[in-house]
Amino acid sequence: MKFTVAIDGPAAAGKGTISKAVAAHFGFAHLDTGLLYRAVGAKVLGGANAVDAAEMLMPADLEAGNLRTAEVAEAASKVAAIPEVRRALVEFQQSFARRSGGAVLDGRDIGTVICPEAEVKLFVTATPEVRAQRRLLELQASGSETTFDEVLADVLARDARDAGRADAPMKVAEDAVLIDTSEMEIADAVDAALAEVERRRDLA
Ligand code: DC
């Protein structure tokens, strides 16, 4: 059975939690496509050329331990604006999406560019302030002493870069269902996503 769930949206909107929950509930494989760009970004911070790093990316590179830092996120967002980097990563994502047994991919351009034929498209979003507050709590929990204003500035800069680039910008696919988590408990957002996948699966 081929069944693709495309989940796009900005950083810290709840995409990751929702994607993992959908994959676990339906037994689908999950690919966090941001990790591909983060792995390339990490290699660039280590001195590599971005296009070479993307072309030579290995599955094991996604397991590197430092991919969740703010520094790597910023590098990821920068390399993600390079068309050759994006092109080098398309085939891996598309073949993952078509694997039998169903797949969930989350990112910025899954429903628009990578899997325009996906059976389900969700766009998960929240206001920048809510996303910055969530990210701040995560960072503080891991011992960081950053401030709300710093985190908000990072969120806004990354949104502007991800939505403003010429190649595959972050945007809502025409046929995507919007889930705005600004005033929602994450459990309710997960339920909304599961209900939508269930509905489409019954139609498939
Ligand atoms: O989802 P994330 O925060 O891990 O993504 C890191 C960066 O990677 C993000 O700022 C933009 C880029 N990205 C992208 O351009 N396209 C995707 N499908 C996923 C991520």
Three-state helix/strand/coil letters over 1-69? CCCEEEEECCCCCCHHHHHHHHHHHHCCEEEECHHHHHHHHHHHHCCCCHHHHHHCCCHHHHHCCCCCC
Q: Whose CA is nearest to atom 4 of ligand 1?
A: 34
74 vs 18, 30, 34, 91, 153, CA distance in Å? 23, 23, 11, 24, 12
Ligand 1 close to Cβ of residue 109 (< 6 A): yes
Q: Whose CA is nearest to atom 1 of ligand 1?
A: 34
Q: Determine the residue type at 184.
A: M
pLDDT at 116: 98
Q: Whose CA is nearest to atom 20 of ligand 1?
A: 34
Give yes or no for a contact between 29 and 105, defined as CB atoms under 8 angstroms apart.
no
Residues near 131 by beta carbon (within 8 Å), at least 6 away in sequence: 10, 11, 12, 13, 155
3-state secondary structure 153-171: HHHHHHHHHHHHCCCCCCC
Query: In 3-state terms, the chain is what percent helix, strand and coil (to 5)?
Result: 55, 10, 30
Tell how far the Cα of 44 is from the centroid of ligand 1, in angstroms: 15
Dihedrals phi, psi of 150, to nearest 5 degrees:
-65, -45
Tell how far the Cα of 41 is from the centroid of ligand 1, in angstroms: 10
Q: What's the pLDDT band for 35 if we cut at 50, 70, 90?
A: very high
**Quick one: CA torsion of 181, 186, 187, 193, rounded to 10 degrees?**
50
Least confident stretch, 117-131, 138-152, 172-186: 138-152
pLDDT at 44: 98
Look up the pTM and report it: 0.96
Tell how far the Cα of 170 is from the centroid of ligand 1, in angstroms: 9
Rounded to the nearest 5 degrees, what angle is found at the Cα of 158, between the Cα atoms of 154 and 162?
175
- Give the nearest ligand 1 atom to 8 CA: 18
User: Residue 47 pLDDT > 90, yes or no?
Assistant: yes
User: Residue 144 pLDDT > 90, yes or no?
Assistant: no
Domain tally, the chain: 1
Name the average pLDDT for the chain: 96
User: Residue 129 pLDDT > 90, yes or no?
Assistant: yes
Percent of the chain's residues with pLDDT above 90: 92
Q: Whose CA is nearest to atom 11 of ligand 1?
A: 77
Ligand 1 close to Cβ of residue 33 (< 6 A): yes
Dihedrals phi, psi of 202, to nearest 5 degrees:
-65, -30
Tell how far the Cα of 145 is from the centroid of ligand 1, in angstroms: 24
User: Which residues are 120's β-sheet partners?
Assistant: 5
- Secondary structure letter of residue 104 according to DSSP: E
User: Residue 28 pLDDT > 90, yes or no?
Assistant: yes
Q: Whose CA is nearest to atom 9 of ligand 1?
A: 77
Tell how far the Cα of 161 is from the centroid of ligand 1, in angstroms: 10
pLDDT at 18: 98
Q: What is the domain range of residue 104?
A: 4-203
| CATH number of the CATH domain containing 187 | 3.40.50.300
d(CA 9, CA 125): 6
d(CA 146, CA 140): 7
